[in-house]
């Protein structure tokens, strides 16, 4: 449910958008000084579904190991996403400070950001570990920052003024090169960086194709083969596979209402006629 089975909000209707807002994610998902931004996908719903699957597995495992029967799983929409907010609540609890939006940066690691290349494309950089940071400074032509005060370790680099300097020197270097040049030079230099993809980029990526990250399934309704993300969890002994794109609404009515719930065929027909199902 939206808010769980206990507490004053237990009987309020809840949707993923509200859960994302209540979790603190929408507030944090913005550029500094910008408005809170809803995720453009059903983020809370998908994360809650994953947690529910995990909770179901734990409950089944507990039932198998013990003498007790099954148990109820109480899961809200907002709490799984709230648990993903890292140390933000702990920071507030200990200091009274409210961690604010940071755009593409983070308050616990630096340098970390997205930068625009010469031809207008984007790359994402994460080089907060000491060795990658030092290699990055050599690459962008500022080796002096490796030992300069304010940059000697990650704790110094996450400070606001230090991040501003790093964003400037790294951004200028990347802006003078194409995406391919940036990625190639960083990979040769041992710096962790990667392109920011859209769906077309994903479709054309050789690693995505060779690894089989996309499922190709024939859809009888549209009479065409559809592509979408394959099952991401790969069991080497019993691998799963997407076999069909999804059944139309009501396709399993007979199985559910007759076989599982015990309604007669005539009762199912009547429910269809009355628009109940």
At residue 173, φ and ψ (nearest 5 deg) are -65, -45
- Residue pair 78/22 in contact by the 8 Å Cβ criterion: yes
Give the pLDDT score at 108.
92
Local structure of 124: helix, strand or coil: strand
CA distance 171 to 255: 59
Give the pLDDT score at 263.
95
Give the pLDDT score at 67.
66
- Residue pair 182/125 in contact by the 8 Å Cβ criterion: no
- Residue pair 5/74 in contact by the 8 Å Cβ criterion: yes
Q: Considering only CA atoms, which of 109, 102, 111 is closest in space to residue 140?
A: 111
| Residue carrying the six token digits 């960083």 | 186
Give the pLDDT score at 69.
76
- Residue pair 167/140 in contact by the 8 Å Cβ criterion: no
Give the pLDDT score at 148.
97
* Predicted confidence (pLDDT) per residue in 104-161, tens digit: 999 999 999 999 999 999 999 999 999 999 999 999 999 999 999 999 999 999 999 9
Q: Is the dihedral of CA 32, 37, 42, 44 positive or negative?
A: positive
Give the pLDDT score at 246.
82
Give the pLDDT score at 244.
86
- Which segments of the chain belong to CATH 3.30.1540.10? 112-196
Give the pLDDT score at 170.
98
Give the pLDDT score at 188.
95
Q: Under CATH, what is the fold of the domain 112-196?
A: formyl-coa transferase, domain 3 (3.30.1540)
Looking at every residue in the chain, the average pLDDT score rounds to 94
Structure-token pair, residue 96: 């009274």
Which positions of the chain have pLDDT values less than 70? 67
Residues ≥6 apart with Cβ < 8 Å to 10: 1, 3, 4
């Amino acid at each position: 449910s939206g808010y769980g089975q206990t507490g004053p909000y237990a009987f309020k209707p809840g949707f993923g958008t509200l859960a994302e807002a209540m979790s603190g994610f929408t507030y944090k998902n913005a550029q500094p000084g910008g408005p809170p931004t809803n995720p453009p996908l059903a983020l809370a719903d998908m994360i809650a579904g994953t947690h529910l699957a995990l909770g179901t597995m734990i409950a089944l495992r507990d039932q198998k190991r013990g003498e007790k029967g099954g148990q109820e799983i109480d899961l809200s929409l907002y709490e799984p996403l709230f648990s993903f907010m890292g140390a933000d609540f702990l920071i507030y609890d200990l200091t009274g400070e409210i961690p604010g939006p940071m755009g593409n940066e983070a308050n616990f690691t630096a340098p970390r950001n997205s930068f625009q290349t010469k031809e207008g494309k984007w790359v994402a950089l994460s080089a907060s570990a000491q060795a990658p940071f030092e290699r990055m400074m050599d690459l962008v032509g500022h080796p002096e920052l490796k030992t300069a005060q304010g940059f000697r370790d990650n704790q110094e680099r996450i400070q606001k003024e230090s991040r501003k300097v790093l964003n400037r020197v790294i951004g200028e270097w990347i802006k003078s090169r194409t995406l391919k040049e940036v990625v190639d030079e960083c990979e040769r230099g041992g710096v962790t960086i990667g392109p920011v993809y859209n769906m077309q980029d994903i479709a054309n990526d050789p690693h995505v194709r060779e690894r089989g990250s996309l499922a190709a399934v024939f859809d009888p309704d549209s009479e065409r083969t559809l592509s979408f993300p394959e099952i991401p969890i790969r069991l080497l002994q019993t691998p799963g596979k997407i076999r069909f794109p999804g059944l139309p609404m009501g396709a399993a009515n007979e199985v559910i209402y007759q076989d599982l719930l015990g309604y007669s065929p005539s009762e199912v027909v009547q429910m269809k006629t009355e628009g109940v199902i």
